[in-house]
Amino acid sequence: MTVIPSQLDRWQEKASKLLAKLDQTKARYADAHADLSTAQEKVQTVEEAQSIAQTIAQDIQQQVHSRISSVVSRCLSAVFPDPYKLVIRFDRKRGRTEAVLLFERDGNETNPMDGAGGGPVDLAAFALRLSSMMLSRPKLQRTVVMDEPFKSPSPHYRKLIRDLLASLSDELGVQFIFSTNIMELVCGEVIDLEEE
């Protein structure tokens, strides 16, 4: 077979173009491989950072749980015999953390609004408000204003509630200002606003 020089030149030109494309493809592959390695390193770094953030969040949640539940549980135990303890369960739903408040007694958990009665719920709501104020940063003025608090607890618990308010005021440096018609709750400085 006789090869014509012009045909040979065309084959060489075609081969040169194919070799150039091969070199470009190899270069793109090397770049893509390097990009993949960099992306994998970034993914690993992000996963490690996420793990650290989740660990820190769990630690903070546990600290908050301990502080809040200790205040609420202390208030409940100061007033009620066989008191509930507050449990805060942190559940992850839809990529967010939700806090679920429960009462626990004798290993049984219950939704406070469903089965605990108004007295413990009133006192727990007060204690949650107090602990929220105490944990607030920057610190808030330590004054709690209430309108007709503690109407739900039975009358025989009122003296215990009054004593609890007095001890909390002394220990935490909190001023409680409240209006009430329940004389058993009255303590400290009293301003009588009787109707004329």
* Cβ proximity of 127 and 112 under 8 Å: no
- For 166, the domain range is 51-185
Ramachandran category for residue 117: left, alpha or beta (phi over 0 → left; psi -120 to 50 → alpha): left
| Residue 88 lies inside a defined structural domain of this protein | yes
pLDDT value of position 116: 66
Query: Cα(41)–Cα(32) distance, rounded to whole angstroms?
Result: 14
Q: Is there a domain that residue 4 lies in? A: no
Stated length of the chain: 196
Confidence of residue 2 (pLDDT cuts 50, 70, 90): low
**Would 97 be classed as within a structural domain?**
yes
What per-residue confidence (pLDDT) applies to 168? Answer: 92
> φ and ψ at 68, to 5 degrees?
-65, -50
The verdict on residue 98 lying in a domain is yes
Convert the pLDDT of each residue in 84-99 to its tens digit. Answer: 888 888 887 777 778 8
26-40, 72-86, 94-108, 154-168, range with the lowest pLDDT: 94-108
* Domain count across the chain: 1
CATH code of the domain covering residue 181:
3.40.50.300
Q: Is residue 121 domain-resident?
A: yes
Q: In the chain, where do the E strands start and end? A: 85-93, 96-105, 108-110, 143-147, 175-179
Biggest CA–CA distance in the chain, Å, is: 130
DSSP string, 21-52: HHHHHHHHHHHHHHHHHHHHHHHHHHHHHHHH
Q: What is the mean pLDDT of the chain?
A: 85
In a domain, 24, yes or no: no
Q: Which residues pair with 109 in a beta bridge?
A: 104
> What pLDDT, on the 0 to 100 scale, is given for residue 51?
84
Residue 16 lies in a domain: no
175 located within any domain: yes
Please give the Cα distance from 45 to 54 (Å, whole number).
14
Helices 118-135, 158-172: axis angle to 10 degrees equals 10
Q: Which of 3-7, 28-32, 100-104, 157-161 has the lowest mean pLDDT?
A: 3-7
What secondary structure, in 3-state letters, does 158-170 show? HHHHHHHHHHHHH
